Structures are given as C-alpha cells and as structure tokens.
Amino acid sequence: MVIFQAVIIIFTTCLGLYKTGNPSRYFGEGRFTMGISCAQLLAVAWFAWCIYRCRRAATGGLGLFSPHLVWLLVASGFVFLTLDEGFELHEKLDRLIHAWVIHAKANPWTDRIDDALIAIYGLVGMGVMWKFRKEVLLLRRSLLLPLILGFVSLFVSVGCDALSNGDELLHWMTGDLALAKVLNGWLSVGDGAFTLLAEGLFINAFYNGWKQSRFI
C-alpha cells in the first residue's frame, strides 16, 4: 500500500514542478489529493469496523465497556476525519476561534491553530489506543509497527504544515526571503506527502489487524 502513496507523491510533486514550478501546487485543500486522502481515511474506517465485527463475534460481547469497542471508536474517528478532510472542518473551526475567542484576525502565530487541532486529533487517537492497549496488543504482530509509523508520519506532517504556514517563520529562521519561499514549497510537499503516507500506513495496520482478528 505504501508503494501507491509513493507513486502519488512523486507524480503530484513532478506535476506541480512541470506545470507551475511549485512542487506543492497539487497538494492540499481543493486538489485531487484531497479526494485520495478522503478515500484512504474511509478505507481505514472500514477495516477498523471489520476488526470490530470480528472481535465482537469472537467475544460475544455487546457491553458498553467491552474492550473491543475500541475498534468501533477508531472506525467512528476515521469517519469524522473523512468529513473533516472533505469539508475542511478544522480550518473552519480555526476561523471560528479567531472570531469568537481571540476576537482578532489571524496572524503568523495564531494562524497555526488548525495545525494544532490536527495534532490534537492524533493525540486523542493515541490516547484511545493506550486506554485500550490490552485489546490493541492482541493484534500487535500485524498492527503495531505500521500503526506507530503512521502516527510518526502524522506528526511530521503537522510539523511541515506549521512551518510552511506562511513565509514569516521561515524568513525569520533563514534570514533569506527567497530561500524561505523555496523551503515553504517543499515543506508543503512534506505536509501533503506525510499525510498520504500516514493514511497508507494506517490502512496497512488495520487491514493486517483485520486479517489477524479473524483467527483469534
């Protein structure tokens, strides 16, 4: 699955360079990669749902606090992330925070609130996995490594997005506006690329977890 993401990343970067000279031109909101991202998030949700069904059948449990409910929570979470990606919910929440809480227009620092929201999503996901770690570790042979790599890729993406959100921070770091603009383009590539890669790793994790869950 990761090979597919690598092909998409290389193709999208080369297309941006060829068409506009900007490697990040076809990453991000409103681009075709957003549709790919939504499809991948739905795929993760589907495989998490499949694990839930297998584990529910194996345990015969429907209790409110049954450990296998973690897979239902994961499936629901990725459905939410699909909606967030497709309807740009965290960007809209960022604007609401500026209008209703900060009562000011975005500046180079507060404009990174939407990046922080994505990081919070990741931390919540990790917290859920930790809370139900005994259940998750039942599938550690097939699920754990790509899951960890997926979270690492997610946070690298958030870091790239935060750094590339405007030229001001990179200009301050480098002292060279032209270099800052170049770095901004490539960090935006990193944001989109690591987002797609994280999703691919999550697909890998939950697909493998589903296959193992059928036999435990």
pLDDT tens for 39-52 read 999 999 999 999 99
What is the structure's pLDDT at 114?
83
Give the rounded percent of residues in the chain with a pLDDT score beyond 90. Answer: 70
Predicted pLDDT of residue 62: 64
Query: What CA–CA distances, in Å, run from 59 to 113, 128, 193?
Result: 41, 20, 39
- Quick one: how far is CA 140 from the chain centroid? 21
Is the pLDDT at 98 greater than 70, yes or no? no
| pLDDT (mean) for 7-33 | 94
**Would you state the pLDDT for residue 93?**
79
Q: What is the pLDDT of residues 45-96, one digit of tens each?
A: 999 999 999 999 988 766 667 899 999 999 999 999 999 998 888 777 777 7
